[in-house]
Amino acid sequence: MKSFVTYSLFFISFLSFGQNISPETLLDKAIAYHDPNGNWNTFNETFNVEMTTPESAKRTSIISINLPAEYFSVTATKDTVTTTYTLNKRKCTMSYNGKVLDSSAAKQKNMTCDRATLYKNYYSYLYGLPMKLKDAGTNLNDTVEKKTFKGKDYLVLKVTYDEAVGSDIWYFYFNPKTYAMEIYQFFKTDENGKEKPDSGEYILLSEETLLNGIKIPKVRAWYYNKADKYLGTDTLVEE
């Protein structure tokens, strides 16, 4: 009798995991989990991130994102150097150890407004997931995949982007019961747009914190896809 009950529970679980779900429905459920009140479009928060990497000094970043005001700033400190990039609508400013730089001085420090825009897009994208998958130029694959990663089952959403947005291929792994985003992974592509299997990275997400009413992964551990080589960890920390 016990073995029959065990088998039945396994069978029900298998059926549940195997149920078909459309990519759009999966994304909607994931967004409903992370941003149940639809707060992303009015996101306005400042948060601290510590990055630790093997054989390197810790880097602490203070990040401000105010989407309605079109404002972004990141102040990063590593060893004795502090750099700040700020974008206030279309105005870009940069500073080094507290001193505002003109374009010539910034260039000498290898700081540019293009890099400021890169940081803005990077942090807005990663901390805006999965909501950012609704952005224009984002293409969801036709089907949801079922994958097992490190012994755990996931519903996986494959995403590509219009050429003007990016060439990488991304995979987003969602808990099949809660629809929480727990992993994301990307691969580079060759000149024909084909996925390069030994390229790219995967990021393991753990713990959660609330920012602007949104459930944000607190810890992100980065690894190369090739050989599972560990790269480093970003952790949201209290001020």
Q: What is the pLDDT of residue 18?
A: 47
CB of 220 within 8 A of CB of 237? no
Q: What is the dihedral of CA 223, 61, 205, 34, to 10 degrees?
A: -150
Q: What is the pLDDT of residue 239?
A: 66
What distance in Å separates the CA atoms of residue 113 and residue 213, rounded to the nearest whole number? 31
CB of 169 within 8 A of CB of 10? no
Q: What is the pLDDT of residue 126?
A: 94
Domain boundaries, given as residue ranges, for the chain: 22-38+137-231, 44-127
pLDDT tens-digit map of 145-164:
999 999 999 999 999 999 99
Can you list the residues of the chain whose pLDDT is less than 70? 1-19, 239
CB of 113 within 8 A of CB of 102? no
| C-alpha angle 20-9-207 in degrees, rounded to nearest 5 | 70
Q: What is the pLDDT of residue 14?
A: 43
Q: What is the pTM of this model?
A: 0.89
Q: What is the pLDDT of residue 238?
A: 79
CB of 204 within 8 A of CB of 180? no
pLDDT tens-digit map of 10-59:
444 444 454 689 999 999 999 999 999 999 999 999 999 999 999 899 99
